[in-house]
Amino acid sequence: MHRRQFLTLLSASLLRAATRLPANKNVKWALGANLWNSFPRVPFTDILDVMHDTGFIGLRVTQFPQILETYKITADEMAREAAKRGVEIITISFNGPVDDASQHAAVVDRAKQAMKFLQTFGAKHLVVFSPRRGADRAAIGGKGPAAFQAMCEGFNRIGEAAAAMGFRAGLHNHLGQMVQDPSEIDLCMEKTDPKLFYFSPDTAHVHLAGGDVAAVMNKHRNRLMLADYKDAKRAGLDPAKFPPNIYDLGDGEIDFPACHRVLKSIQFKGWLCVDLDIARNGPRASYERCGEYVVKTLEPIYV
């Protein structure tokens, strides 16, 4: 093969590859840093390279502030390397013992520190996880009404601090935590101020907790801040060891086209995070597969 022919074929191949990347228009696509903890440690720039190459241009930071030490990188270096690749740091996975009212002030201070870090990158969202679930299976949140009420009051205080800093804070539901199933999501939304605290659902965890993902998203559509698009299958679920039930987009049971129609109905403009807990063939292969599903199945509905 002549050099000119080779370059022509290479250019065509690259062009085809480029057309498969998510468009990142109204919906912008992100991923979570936590997946890389399941693989041998790589430089942080390798994560950013995978993001750039697969079209997932936003990153949710996990294990903050320890992640800076883990990857031997400063916030300024992270910002600089991300900018080189057209990547954005969009939020942090934040949690704290908000079910204990005596801890509220300390938790809010930590939330402010996290948001100050995020301001380095121009981010405007704080994804908030609920505390670890209690052992009482019959009690709401596993800990009872008083703890649940304290948690919601703590969420409002985080939301108030976020608003003062130009941020939005929102609930992230999760197995094994106090806000786990649709009824607890509903109660949390009822007990928090819609002007202060928003909703950042994890589709896989809604599904694994027995919920209809699109229905939950639609019910709370006016408070949707950001969402995790993550596929799942319920068979053989062990709530304490759920990663094997997580799948690449389109390989599980969740009706993402229905979810995307909810986003279209509200003209959603924001981030969706494909925060995989497992990548059976490695991060790059999973995100390439997810990106293909986004382009072929979801973008025809709403881009």
What is the pLDDT at residue 2? 46
* Euclidean distance between CA atoms 270 and 27, whole angstroms: 5
Kindly indicate the confidence band of residue 20, based on its pLDDT and cuts at 50, 70 and 90: confident
Q: Do 126 and 96 touch, CB atoms closer than 8 A?
A: no
Kindly indicate the confidence band of residue 3, based on its pLDDT and cuts at 50, 70 and 90: very low
User: Is 231 a member of any domain?
Assistant: yes
User: Is 47 a member of any domain?
Assistant: yes
Is the pLDDT assigned to residue 1 strictly greater than 50? no
Per-chain mean pLDDT for the chain? 94
Which pLDDT tens digit goes with each residue over 163-179? 999 999 999 999 999 99
Percent of the chain with pLDDT over 90: 93
User: Is 260 a member of any domain?
Assistant: yes
Q: Do 184 and 141 touch, CB atoms closer than 8 A?
A: yes
User: Is 126 a member of any domain?
Assistant: yes
Burial of 225 (0-12, 13-18, 19+ CB in 10 A): buried
Kindly indicate the confidence band of residue 13, based on its pLDDT and cuts at 50, 70 and 90: very low
User: Is 90 a member of any domain?
Assistant: yes
Task: Provide Rg for the chain, Cα atoms.
Answer: 20
- For residue 117, give the CATH number of its domain: 3.20.20.150
User: Is 14 a member of any domain?
Assistant: no
Say how many domains are in the chain. 1
User: Measured on CA atoms in the order 92, 97, 101, 106, is the torsion positive or negative?
Assistant: negative
Provide the residue range defining the domain that includes 172.
24-298
Position with higher pLDDT, 17 vs 195: 195
User: Is 280 a member of any domain?
Assistant: yes
* Euclidean distance between CA atoms 299 and 23, whole angstroms: 8
Closest CA to 219 of 195, 196, 239, 194: 194
Whether the model clears a pTM of 0.75, i.e. scores above it, the answer is yes
User: Is 206 a member of any domain?
Assistant: yes
Kindly indicate the confidence band of residue 52, based on its pLDDT and cuts at 50, 70 and 90: very high
What is the pLDDT at residue 158? 98
